[in-house]
Amino acid sequence: MDKKPVITIIGLGYVGLPLAHAFAKKGYTVHGFDINEGRIKELSGGHDSTNELEDSQLAEVTMNFSTDASVIKECDIVILAIPTPVDENKKPDLTPIRKASETVGKNMKKGAIIVYESTVYPGTTEEICGPILEEHSGLTCGKDFTLGYSPERINPGDKEHTVTKIMKIVAGQDSKTTDILCKVYGDIITAGIHRAANIKTAEMAKAIENAQRDLNIAYVNEVAMLCHKIGIDSSKVLDAAGTKWNFLKFNPGLVGGHCIGVDPYYLVEKAEQLGMDTHVISAGRKVNDGMAQLVVDEVLEAIGNKGKVLVMGLTFKEDVPDTRNSQSYAVIKALQNAGCDVLADDPQSDDDNVPRGTLSDGPYNAIVLLVKHQEYMNLATEDVISATKEEGLIYDIKHILDKEKVISAGRKYLSL
């Protein structure tokens, strides 16, 4: 391609929007498509509720936001940034990516390159998405259009490791397609391009990135549980171990969100398709999936299975508004089922599907600090103590508060 290709980004969430912005900033004609009318309306109005882009960043470039899929017909490269969740049985749910592929197939032009950025198990792009595109376009994959895969690596809420500053894995179904995609992505990625051997290799690389992190967190979660049994402080143990140069520093906690808590199941699914058991990957998921119940059990043991509880933190990680797959909701539901009166606070989320409350609505039998928001980091330990009843519990999962102050004030203190 001698001139800059016209690009459509399908899906304008925390991945698609920054990517669209990066291309637009480099002078590409960019169409942003999303089926969520509310999302298109807010972006057209110059605001991003995910907080990945500031209003000033949206204003500095020209992008066409639309719910009209016909914009795809104008584009040389179509990039799909579609969520890939799991269902209630922890099985990969490819419905969103299938439906998005149907939409693209019905509107794509001959000669287009269709690129997937979603985390999937190896084979999904070529064996599932490609045939869907063929069916709905009437075109032949590899002849009339080609496929690419370049997995997203964005860390939500991270203002340092933004899309252009993270090395990009790029693969196409043939050398020419890979060349084009490496050049196009190379225009916006300052951290460099890694040219993967093929699409399946790139798909596998992305899946194991998050599974590795899941396993590392599962390990320190299990260490924390053992430390509890022994009666020592896991944070002190990890601080001591962390003085060795090659010790990997991870912290215990709840694992949720749309990546780490989900992507390992895509590897498990692929292994099952091939008749293989995944012992290590599955074990890590089992540990992390059980952490919410561990927290609940310890809270109930401390307060006698009843009382008023404030859960602080609804989002799946600190300083983001995203609540998808957040384990905070599992904690809340289990406490409610046990008979507790549960209120929830979160400065980043306006979710009113759970009863809301603040420290001022105390005193509480237990306060459970689950997410390390900056607003909570700025809290005075005394304020949390004052909102807790005498001999009540403060469960400080992320070690935010002053433990000695909590104990000396006559409150119980727990953490992971």
What residues are annotated to the active site? 259
Phi, psi of 264 (to 5 degrees): -55, -30
Contacts of 385 by beta carbon, 8 Å cutoff, 6+ apart: 394, 405, 406, 409, 411
Question: What does the chain come to in residues?
Answer: 416
- Alpha carbons within 13 angstroms on the beta-carbon side of residue 393 total 26
- Residues whose CB falls within 8 Å of the CB of residue 398, separated by 6 or more in sequence, listed in order: 251, 253, 369, 370, 371, 372, 415, 416
- What's the first-to-final CA gap in the chain, in angstroms? 54
Q: Is 219 helix (H, G, I), strand (E, B) or coil?
A: helix
Distance CA 239, CA 185 (A): 40
Residues 6+ apart with CB under 8 A from 218: 255, 283, 284, 285, 287, 288
Strand partners, 145: 141
Nearest to 184 by CA among 15, 14, 26: 26
